[in-house]
């Protein structure tokens, strides 16, 4: 923000609701040009690319807050600026790959902008200011509604650049930037807007180190990361990387000294699957001392030693709780007072995007360790007595009178409309708000019958899904013998694995011959908008209905199912890829909680586990009786 805009920010307290409620008034539209709202990539090369932005229509929705009525100005499918207290204006973010060593230079070429006064633009109220993200653990009545009144009193258009670029960091060997287009400027005194309807931008990479970039790509090549680049990076050229993926995937297992014999069957199974497994013992007399510094240094050494012929590991599996008998140390987050294993896989730059998928068998005894291993092997080998349950799911929008009608119901409706439905061979027991609040017993009964995938979004605690209630005691009493799957909690603190008693996620994986094989959840509070983006992608029309599919804005569900004609390099098949895809959607939103989400979302279980999305069928395989010397392939 420019200095001339700096001023006192007025906090409008008075127990203000910090979420906005859309009024029943119809949406107003400002027609601009006979074109679609889009960003088109052209002339893509290692040295840069061109992009054409066009804006065809603006939408205005009247919004009621306790501090009066505002207008929300939006572009269908686009996001918003998020400077708290300042006008919330449309924004389109694209993540781009930039060569190592290069400076990014923007040149604005052909452009067409128009100004609309108060009558022409159909604004009837001031544009609503952006607010802080709202935690699912927060009481909205205690959070201030922030308006930068000094800025709103200025009789001038904001002077933000139409297009901005900022470095995000390194995404496993790929340097990534945010390319943001802000098509609307706003004068809050006259209530006028200035709109960039059409803009051609040249993006040049100045002085790129092409050799170093190619070397980094080769040393970090991993098939399991290819879909992330293809799905996320605007200017990604798959040919630059996929040809480099020619070595087996590597997994590091950190195991406390004295327990390697207990995991040998699991190491053998992972090896049979094709992984190159590196078991590092942790503790006195082991490969690495049981301290956060020693473990981080060890993981860093593996990353730094990677070569094109021996690429860096893709997965990290930690064996043990953060304290107790079977222990591997964990870290305290930099973005809050929570535990996190993210530090061990932040290995390329200072950003928060991990270079490996990570998970933890958080167990406190050899019995619990055996339980997790036996379930996971049985699940991955599909040795369950009756696999029909894998075609059944439970999807729950929990109770919150303010947010569940829009955010929780919207996420679940998207899941059932696009994916968890009969067209995909799946039967879903779906519980939307408010009916979900009286469905506790039925939900637990569904889980006890066995379900391949279970999702809950709303409020949580260390030991429960809050409402409808599903507690650690309920998990411990589960009767789904031989019928376990993957569970996801888009809710607060259910994976807080340093809690004084087993947290919900730990209970799920520790349960003998029941519970689940993996649990995805947060070690701290999660947020309403961000959990919505995590699940369905950065889609801003949050009204409780299923938003339309958008190939440029994918969430965890989209990456998992890949049923819209995506090529194989865009498929996310493991729980590790799923959680990464969800967090990338939060990053795409530009949320101030992006780094926080990388730290708090964790997997209880093996990050390489592939959830079943329907009842699997046997894959027929034949092989020749003889393979001649010199042949390098057969069909």
List active site positions.
459, 492
d(CA 144, CA 132) in angstroms, rounded, equals 9
Q: How far apart are CA 179 and CA 580, in angstroms?
A: 20
383 with 389: CB under 8 angstroms?
no
The neighbouring-strand residues paired with 206 are 103
CA atoms within 13 A on the CB side of 30: 27
| Contact of 257 with 281, CB cutoff 8 Å | yes
Could you report how far apart the first and last alpha carbons of the chain are, in Å? Answer: 62
Q: Which of 135, 92, 58, 102 is nearest to 400 (CA)?
A: 135
Q: What is the DSSP string of 379-416?
A: HHTT--S-GGGGGEEEEEE---TTTIIIIIHHHHHHHH
Q: Which of 526, 539, 577 is nearest to 556 (CA)?
A: 577
Conformational region of residue 285, where left means phi above 0, alpha means psi within -120 to 50, and beta covers everything else = left
The residue among 442, 362, 438, 429 whose CA lies nearest residue 392 is: 429
User: What's the alpha-carbon Rg for the chain, to the nearest Å?
Assistant: 25
Strands 28-31 and 315-319: unpaired
429 strand-pairing partners: 394
Strands 103-116 and 192-206: antiparallel
Alpha-carbon span 605 to 611, nearest angstrom: 12
């Amino acid at each position: 923000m420019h200095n001339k805009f700096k001023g006192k920010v007025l906090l409008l307290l008075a127990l203000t609701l910090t979420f906005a409620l859309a009024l029943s008034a119809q949406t107003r539209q400002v027609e601009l040009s006979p074109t679609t709202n889009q960003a088109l990539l052209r002339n893509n090369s290692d040295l840069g690319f061109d992009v054409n932005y066009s804006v065809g229509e603006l939408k205005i929705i009247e919004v009621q807050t306790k501090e009066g009525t505002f207008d929300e100005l939006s572009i269908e499918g686009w996001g918003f600026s998020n400077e708290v207290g300042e006008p919330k204006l449309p924004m389109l973010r694209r993540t781009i790959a930039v060569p190592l060593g290069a400076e990014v230079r923007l040149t604005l070429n052909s452009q067409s902008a128009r100004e609309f006064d108060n009558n022409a633009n159909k604004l009837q109220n001031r544009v609503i200011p952006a607010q802080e993200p709202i935690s699912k653990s927060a009481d909205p009545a205690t959070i201030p509604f922030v308006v930068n009144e000094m800025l709103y009193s200025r009789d001038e258009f904001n002077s933000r650049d139409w297009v901005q670029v900022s470095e995000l960091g390194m995404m496993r060997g790929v340097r990534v930037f945010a390319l943001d287009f802000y098509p609307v400027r706003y004068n809050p005194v006259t209530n006028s807007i200035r709109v960039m309807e059409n803009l051609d931008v040249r993006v040049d990479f100045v002085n790129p180190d092409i050799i170093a970039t190619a070397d980094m790509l080769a040393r970090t090549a991993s098939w399991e990361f290819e879909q992330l680049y293809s799905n996320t990076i605007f200017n990604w050229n798959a040919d630059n990387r996929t040809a480099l993926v020619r070595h087996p995937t590597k997994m590091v297992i950190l195991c406390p000294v004295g327990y390697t014999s207990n995991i040998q069957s699991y190491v053998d199974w992972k090896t049979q699957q094709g992984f190159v497994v590196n078991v590092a013992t942790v503790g006195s007399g082991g490969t690495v001392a049981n301290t956060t510094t020693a473990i981080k240094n060890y993981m860093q050494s593996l990353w730094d030693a990677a070569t094109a012929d021996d690429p860096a590991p893709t997965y990290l599996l930690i064996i043990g709780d953060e304290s107790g008998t079977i222990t591997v140390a964990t870290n305290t987050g930099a973005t809050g007072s929570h535990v996190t294993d993210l530090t061990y896989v932040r290995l390329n730059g200072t950003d928060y995007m991990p270079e490996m998928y990570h998970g933890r068998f958080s167990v406190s005894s050899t019995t619990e360790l055996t339980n997790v291993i036996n379930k996971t092997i049985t699940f991955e080998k599909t040795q369950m007595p009756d696999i029909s349950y894998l075609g059944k799911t439970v999807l729950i929008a929990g109770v919150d009178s303010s947010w569940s009608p829009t955010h929780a119901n919207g996420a679940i409706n998207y899941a059932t409309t696009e994916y968890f439905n009969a067209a995909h061979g799946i039967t879903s027991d779906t519980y939307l708000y408010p009916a979900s609040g009286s469905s506790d017993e039925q939900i637990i009964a569904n889980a006890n019958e066995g379900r391949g995938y279970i999702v809950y979004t709303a409020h949580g605690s260390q030991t429960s899904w809050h409402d409808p209630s599903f507690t650690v005691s309920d998990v411990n009493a589960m009767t789904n013998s031989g019928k376990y799957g993957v569970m996801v909690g888009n809710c607060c603190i259910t994976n807080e694995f340093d809690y004084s008693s087993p947290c919900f996620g730990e209970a799920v994986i520790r349960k003998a011959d029941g519970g689940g094989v993996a649990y995805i959840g947060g070690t701290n509070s999660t947020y309403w908008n961000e959990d919505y983006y995590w699940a369905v992608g950065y889609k801003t029309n949050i009204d409780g209905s299923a938003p339309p599919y958008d190939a440029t804005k994918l969430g965890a569900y989209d990456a998992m199912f890949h049923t819209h004609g995506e090529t194989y390099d865009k498929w996310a098949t493991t729980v590790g890829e799923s959680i990464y895809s969800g967090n990338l959607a939060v990053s795409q939103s530009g949320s101030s909680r992006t780094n926080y989400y990388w730290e708090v979302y964790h997997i209880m279980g093996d990050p390489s586990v592939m959830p079943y999305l329907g009842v699997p069928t046997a894959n027929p395989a034949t092989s020749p009786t003889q393979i001649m010397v010199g042949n390098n392939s057969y069909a």
